[in-house]
């Protein structure tokens, strides 16, 4: 996997600081699973967190805190529930995204967007982002759309191209609100990608707009 489009510095730093919302974090963490280079950059971002922690004005602790902790050092923590059985085959979708989907690609319940494109909405515990998996047939465009805010698109299989470049497996596109673009899957294969937005996507075609309220997109 040759990744050309990585996590931007501001996103990676927000993720490391713990202030990135869950929706964006799914795309960031999934890219991290696919990209050793960004994992090295994350280590540096967490060093900054360590430096800020060191520089924090200390706050007086309860005099009994150390004794309470020491008394608990031999405690065995409750065992975590066992992880779901690992599939015999190597999954295509890495964790954490696989956990959100409840399995690998074959577990995805697609809903049609028209013209052969389909999507699967992913629920999170916050409402500032919308997260979905999109499947675009080979050679076909994503229904034309614009977005009010940021859009992160992570390619999981196949590839797409738009005005800004070509995006293959593992690549992360970071588009801001000014963009009205029409990504198109490359002709060789269907493109499956994770798309995260902070405002509802506005699809330009009237057909799609008509069904938007029904599909909840």
State the residues that interact with Zn ion by CB under 5 A: 6, 35, 37-38, 151
Q: Which of 5, 7, 30, 168 touches other proteins by CB under 8 A?
A: 30
Choosing among other proteins, Zn ion, none, which partner's interface includes residue 2 (Cβ < 5 to 8 Å by kind)? Answer: none
Shortest distance in whole angstroms from residue 200 CB to other proteins? 16
User: Whole-angstrom Cα distance, residue 80 to residue 77?
Assistant: 9
Choosing among Zn ion, other proteins, none, which partner's interface includes residue 32 (Cβ < 5 to 8 Å by kind)? Answer: other proteins
3-state secondary structure of 75: coil
Choosing among Zn ion, other proteins, none, which partner's interface includes residue 6 (Cβ < 5 to 8 Å by kind)? Answer: Zn ion
> How many residues does this entry show for the chain?
217
User: Whole-angstrom Cα distance, residue 197 to residue 176?
Assistant: 10
Assess 79 for contact with other proteins (CB under 8 A).
no
Shortest distance in whole angstroms from residue 157 CB to Zn ion? 17
Residues in 119-148 that interact with other proteins by CB under 8 A: 124-126, 128
Site string for other proteins, 38-77 (x = CB under 8 A): -xx--xxxxxxxxxxxxxxxxxxxx--xx-xxx-xx-x-x
Of 183, 173, 152, the residue nearest 3 (C-alpha): 173
Q: Could you tell me how many helices (H) and strands (E) the chain has, helices first? A: 6, 12
Choosing among other proteins, Zn ion, none, which partner's interface includes residue 102 (Cβ < 5 to 8 Å by kind)? Answer: none
Identify whether the C-beta of residue 147 lies closer than 8 Å to the C-beta of residue 201: yes
Q: Which of 5, 7, 20, 175 touches other proteins by CB under 8 A?
A: 20
Assess 163 for contact with other proteins (CB under 8 A).
no
Assess 155 for contact with other proteins (CB under 8 A).
no
Q: Which is nearer to other proteins, 143 or 169 (CB)?
A: 169
The Cβ of residue 163 has, within 10 Å, a number of other Cβ atoms equal to 10
CB neighbour class for 193 (10 Å; exposed up to 12, middle 13-18, buried from 19): buried
Identify whether the C-beta of residue 154 lies closer than 8 Å to the C-beta of residue 194: yes
Choosing among Zn ion, other proteins, none, which partner's interface includes residue 106 (Cβ < 5 to 8 Å by kind)? Answer: none
Task: Report the b/e string of 141-151 with b at 16+ CB within 10 A.
Answer: bbbebbbeebb
Assess 19 for contact with other proteins (CB under 8 A).
yes
């Amino acid at each position: 996997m040759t990744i050309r489009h990585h996590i931007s510095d501001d996103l990676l730093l927000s993720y490391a600081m713990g202030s990135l919302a869950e929706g964006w974090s799914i795309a960031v963490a999934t890219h991290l699973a696919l990209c050793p280079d960004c994992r090295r950059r994350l280590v540096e971002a967490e060093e900054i967190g360590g430096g800020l922690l060191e520089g924090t004005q200390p706050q007086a602790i309860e005099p009994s805190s150390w004794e309470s902790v020491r008394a608990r050092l031999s405690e065995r923590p409750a065992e975590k529930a066992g992880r779901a059985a690992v599939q015999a085959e190597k999954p295509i979708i890495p964790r954490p995204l696989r956990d959100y989907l409840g399995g690998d690609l074959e577990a995805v319940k697609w809903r049609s967007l028209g013209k052969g494109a389909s999507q699967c909405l992913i629920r999170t515990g916050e409402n500032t982002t919308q997260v979905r998996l999109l499947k675009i047939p080979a050679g076909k465009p994503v229904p034309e759309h614009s977005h009010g805010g940021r859009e992160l698109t992570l390619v999981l299989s196949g590839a797409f191209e738009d005005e800004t470049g070509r995006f293959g497996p593992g690549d992360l596109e970071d588009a801001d609100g000014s963009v009205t673009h029409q990504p198109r899957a490359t002709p060789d294969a269907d493109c499956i990608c994770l798309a995260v937005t902070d405002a509802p996507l506005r699809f330009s075609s009237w057909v799609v707009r008509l069904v938007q309220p029904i599909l909840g997109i």
